[in-house]
């Protein structure tokens, strides 16, 4: 009996439950390629967590099949998991991406002191073969140069992955989407389309990045003091426009913030950010330059507490401070979950009295993702037989799926998937396959792995209600309570000596009344102390701080 050809499996391991940690595996028999390896930043429900990664256990279990890692562009939500993945892989795997993306990746891996993998630069029109995969790259426009889409041919059919994109006709670097290639692939036949869904709920078209330049120049030209511009450090097109506007009105550009300094350096070395050496200076070189001759490029557009903008707003920056005569431009949109942090910085800046511009006040930011009309154009050009929306929260994926149905795609040809779901393609036909284990991995300091839900719950409790420590000393001679000491942190009654004294008396009486100590183990005594003190505090304060009982025998 003839052996059947293995199906092509499309396995999204991340990116379908939020904006971040994008990672998709393509597996066909003995071969596998990975598209993107990103991270996501934690939200308020994950206190103390540094980073959130996709669970790439499936990749590690099939490492011998992995022929290469393709990175569509250099943003952290597509590259940030690479250092952790590469540390877990037992052999070097080539990484394929554009020149700028590889530059950012190389800088990131050097921070982790990871031996350089095999870097393979690709660009618009590059073709390569990885096992049974025949791969073509085509240029796309996004909020970073060097963004690429991927067309994949396999024995079982074809897949087009757009990467992050918008259809910008006037990009800053002049590199437009390769419409010719996209239409050519559509004519050849695309069995499955994976398309960016970030702005699937937004009608119309996303404005061109070039539209921001005029607004930036107007604000910078008319500012009386220094101008501080907070942006993503990887948004090289935006940084270029700030540099162009600054030099056009005779201002020097100051760069501050670790990632901003690193990324501008890499982008300049690779030729993506163009500004003369005499027009860009370090924060320590400001010296006697007049305020109306300075523009400061800084990190902090997402309200990060340790960013340059946050430290300047709070008067904690080592070399720069913001004065009432200055102007601050927040040239970004808060990532979902960061709204409160951004508003907190805006409030701090408002107290200083400086002028503040964000996208609600002027056109200082446009999205890097296509809106509904662009997503429909992509569907029209590619004419896929099957469709899976990617890169978004549930509301975005479902909105994008509805756009496809509105354009005439059959409902059973549109797949709204979760991370770990598997699509199987045979002879160009796609169906749901067996899911694989998936989830999230937390980076918590030096520890990488699953976070115990109890730990996160305890951190949330500590943040909301504080902690009370109760030390009960028992006499080994009388087997009675000798002393009770109660201390607290982060509670509203920490200085209420009368309440603490009442709690001690109540706890002592409760222990004696219940005769808890007779025949009880230390663990049983601790549990009783915790319950009694917790109930007392609830009755008196209507708060439930974490109670840590310590039982000692002397």
Judge whether 362 and 215 are in contact, CB under 8 Å: yes
Question: What does the DSSP assignment read for 462-482?
Answer: HHHH-EEEEEEEE-TTT-SEE
Enumerate long-range contacts of 304-313, CB under 8 Å, 24 or more apart: 304/341, 305/341, 307/230, 307/257, 308/230, 308/256, 308/257, 308/260, 309/228, 309/230, 309/257, 309/345, 310/345, 310/348, 312/228, 313/345, 313/348, 313/349, 313/352
What one-character DSSP code corresponds to residue 278? Answer: G
Vertex 45: Cα angle to 447 and 259 (nearest 5): 60
C-alpha to C-alpha distances, 268 to 100, 102, 232, 242, nearest whole angstrom:
10, 14, 16, 14
Q: Are 202 and 371 in contact (CB under 8 A)?
A: yes
CB atoms within 10 A of CB 293: 13
Per-residue exposure over 389-410, b if at least 16 CB sit within 10 Å of its own CB, e if not? bbbbbeebbbbbbbbbeeeebe
SS3 437: coil
CB under 8 Å to 222, separation ≥6 — which residues? none
Residue 228, strand partner residues: 296, 328
| Local structure of residue 374 (DSSP, 8 states) | H
Helix 372-382 to helix 179-188 angle, to the nearest 10 degrees?
50
422: DSSP letter: -
DSSP state of 414: B
**For the chain, percent helix, then strand, then coil, each to nearest 5?**
35, 25, 40
**H helices present in 480-549, as ranges:** 497-514, 522-541
Contact of 220 with 212, CB cutoff 8 Å: no
Catalytic sites, residue numbers:
196, 369
Asked if residues 494 and 488 have their Cβ atoms less than 8 Å apart, the reply is: yes
Ramachandran category for residue 503: left, alpha or beta (phi over 0 → left; psi -120 to 50 → alpha): alpha
DSSP 134-166: EEEEEE-B-SSTT-EEEEEEETTEEEEE--S-B
- Looking at the DSSP bridge assignments, the partners of residue 66 are 32
């Amino acid at each position: 009996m003839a052996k059947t050809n293995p199906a092509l499996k499309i396995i999204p391991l991340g990116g379908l439950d939020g904006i971040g940690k994008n990672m998709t595996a393509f597996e066909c028999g003995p071969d596998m390629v990975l598209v993107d390896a990103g991270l996501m930043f934690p939200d308020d429900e994950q206190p103390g967590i540094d980073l959130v990664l996709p669970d790439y256990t499936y990749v590690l279990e099939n490492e011998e099949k992995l022929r290469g890692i393709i990175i569509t562009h250099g943003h952290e939500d597509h590259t940030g998991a690479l250092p952790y993945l590469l540390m877990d892989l037992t052999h070097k795997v080539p990484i394929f991406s554009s020149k700028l993306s590889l530059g950012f990746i190389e800088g990131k891996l050097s921070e982790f002191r990871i031996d350089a993998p095999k870097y393979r630069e690709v660009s618009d029109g590059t073709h390569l073969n990885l096992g049974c995969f025949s791969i073509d790259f085509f240029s796309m426009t996004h909020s970073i140069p060097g963004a690429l889409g991927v067309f994949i041919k396999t024995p079982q059919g074809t897949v087009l992955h757009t990467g992050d994109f918008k259809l910008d006709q006037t990009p800053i670097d002049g590199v437009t989407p390769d419409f010719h290639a996209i239409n050519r692939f559509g004519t050849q036949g695309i069995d499955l389309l994976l398309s960016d869904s970030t702005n699937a709920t937004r009608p119309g078209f996303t404005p061109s990045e070039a539209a921001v330049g005029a607004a930036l120049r107007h604000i910078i030209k008319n500012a009386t003091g220094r101008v501080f511009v907070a942006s993503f450090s990887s948004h090289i097109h935006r940084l270029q426009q700030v540099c162009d506007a600054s030099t056009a009105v005779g201002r020097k550009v100051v760069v501050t913030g670790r990632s901003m300094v690193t990324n501008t350096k890499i982008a300049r070395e690779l030729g993506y950010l163009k500004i003369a050496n005499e027009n860009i200076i370090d924060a320590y070189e400001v010296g006697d330059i007049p305020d109306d001759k300075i523009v400061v490029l800084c990190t902090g557009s997402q309200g990060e507490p340790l960013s340059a903008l946050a430290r300047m707003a709070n008067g904690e920056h080592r070399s720069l401070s913001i004065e009432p005569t200055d102007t601050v431009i927040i040239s970004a949109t808060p990532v979902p979950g960061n709204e409160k942090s951004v508003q907190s910085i805006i409030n701090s800046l408002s107290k200083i009295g400086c002028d503040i511009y964000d996208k609600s006040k002027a056109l200082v930011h446009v999205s890097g993702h296509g809106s509904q009309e662009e997503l429909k154009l992509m569907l029209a050009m590619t004419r896929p037989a099957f469709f899976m929306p990617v890169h978004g929260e549930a509301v975005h994926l479902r909105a994008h799926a509805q756009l496809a149905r509105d354009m005439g795609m059959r409902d059973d040809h549109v797949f709204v998937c979760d991370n770990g779901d598997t699509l199987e393609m045979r002879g160009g036909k796609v169906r749901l396959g067996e899911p694989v284990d998936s989830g999230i991995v937390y980076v918590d300091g030096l520890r990488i792995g699953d976070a115990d839900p109890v730990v996160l719950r305890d951190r949330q409790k500590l943040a909301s209600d504080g902690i009370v420590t109760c030390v009960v000393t028992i006499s080994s001679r009388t087997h009675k309570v000798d002393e009770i000491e109660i201390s607290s942190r982060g509670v509203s009654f920490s200085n209420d000596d009368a309440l603490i004294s009442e709690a001690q008396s109540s706890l002592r009486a409760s222990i004696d009344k219940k005769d808890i100590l007779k025949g009880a183990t230390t663990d049983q005594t601790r549990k009783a102390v915790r319950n009694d003190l917790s109930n007392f505090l609830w009755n008196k304060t209507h708060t439930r701080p974490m109670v840590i009982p310590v039982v000692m025998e002397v």
